[in-house]
């Protein structure tokens, strides 16, 4: 689960935040001092930081700036006064969100979750890694090598599956038949690239409503094919 560092000098608030976050299965550390907080922030690898603005030692402004110089993960600033939010924003310190005291713990948790979810969404390379591809009614499960169209399973042969999956994992990128043949059949294999055409045709019969108006694998005349998203 994700790890969060809270830098906050009011112990009661810090503990409250920690309790609620731990209820949502986050691992939480607390640091009360700005200088030590920075050290800990840079040394440990946390998935998110929650910084109070007023702190002994380095204040929240400086802290945010220094952390951002090194880390990319979300930073949430906690302020006592609403007006300070504009100030922080204006300084362009790179904070991701702002919350004013007093706040409801559930709102804090909601925001933390949202930021972590977004971070994951943006950072993990979208194409690879995923074992399942799902787009407009087409679902591909790479692990079991099965394909569904609008909930209905279609039986795919090995080559058909590989071809469809390769295209779907690189959406909107156009590949020539030569490229497709090389990547899927192997560099050395000599053969007719019309094989690719035939397989595309077979795939379309299975996933397209109307094969002459393909919704998924589009023909780019004179260039190649692409998986449309």
Task: Return residues touching DNA (CB under 7 A).
Answer: 155, 157-160, 177, 185, 190-192, 194-195, 197-201, 204-205, 211-212, 219, 221-224
Question: Which of 129, 143, 188, 190: binder of its own copies (CB under 8 A)?
Answer: 143
What gap in Å lies between CA 70 and CA 50, rounded to an integer?
Answer: 16
Considering only residues 170 through 199, tell me which ones interact with its own copies, judged by CB under 8 A. 172-174
What gap in Å lies between CA 143 and CA 87, rounded to an integer?
Answer: 50
Q: How far is the CB of 185 from its own copies (least distance, A)?
A: 13
What gap in Å lies between CA 82 and CA 56, rounded to an integer?
Answer: 21
Q: How far is the CB of 197 from DNA (least distance, A)?
A: 5
Question: Which of 3, 36, 146, 206: binder of its own copies (CB under 8 A)?
Answer: 146
Please, are residues 203 and 160 in contact by the beta-carbon 8 Å criterion? yes
What gap in Å lies between CA 217 and CA 229, rounded to an integer?
Answer: 10
Q: How many CB atoms lie within 10 A of CB 196?
A: 23
The secondary element (H helix, E strand) that includes residue 29 is strand 27-31
> Which residues contact its own copies (rule: CB under 8 A)?
69-70, 72, 86, 89-90, 92, 94, 96, 107, 110, 114, 117-119, 121-123, 126, 135, 141, 143-146, 157-158, 172-174, 220-223, 226, 229
């Amino acid at each position: 689960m994700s790890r969060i560092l809270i830098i906050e000098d009011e112990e009661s608030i810090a503990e409250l935040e920690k309790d609620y976050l731990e209820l949502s299965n986050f691992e939480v550390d607390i640091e009360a001092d700005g200088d030590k907080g920075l050290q800990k922030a840079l040394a440990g690898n946390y998935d998110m930081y929650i910084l109070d603005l007023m702190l002994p030692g380095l204040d929240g402004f400086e802290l945010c700036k220094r952390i951002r110089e090194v880390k990319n993960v979300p930073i949430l600033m906690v302020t006592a006064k609403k007006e300070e939010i504009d100030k922080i924003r204006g300084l362009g310190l790179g904070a991701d969100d702002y919350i004013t005291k007093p706040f409801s713990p559930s709102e804090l948790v909601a925001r933390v979750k949202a930021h972590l979810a977004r971070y994951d969404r943006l950072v993990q390379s979208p194409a690879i890694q995923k074992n399942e591809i799902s787009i407009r009614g087409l679902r591909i499960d790479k692990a079991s090598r099965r394909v569904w169209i609008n909930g209905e399973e279609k039986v795919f042969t090995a080559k058909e599956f590989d071809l469809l999956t390769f295209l779907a994992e690189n959406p909107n990128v156009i590949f020539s038949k030569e490229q497709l043949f090389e990547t899927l059949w192997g560099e050395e294999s000599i053969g007719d690239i019309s094989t690719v055409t035939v397989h595309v045709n077979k795939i379309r019969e299975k996933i397209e409503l109307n094969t002459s108006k393909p919704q998924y694998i589009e023909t780019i005349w004179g260039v190649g094919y692409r998986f449309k998203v």
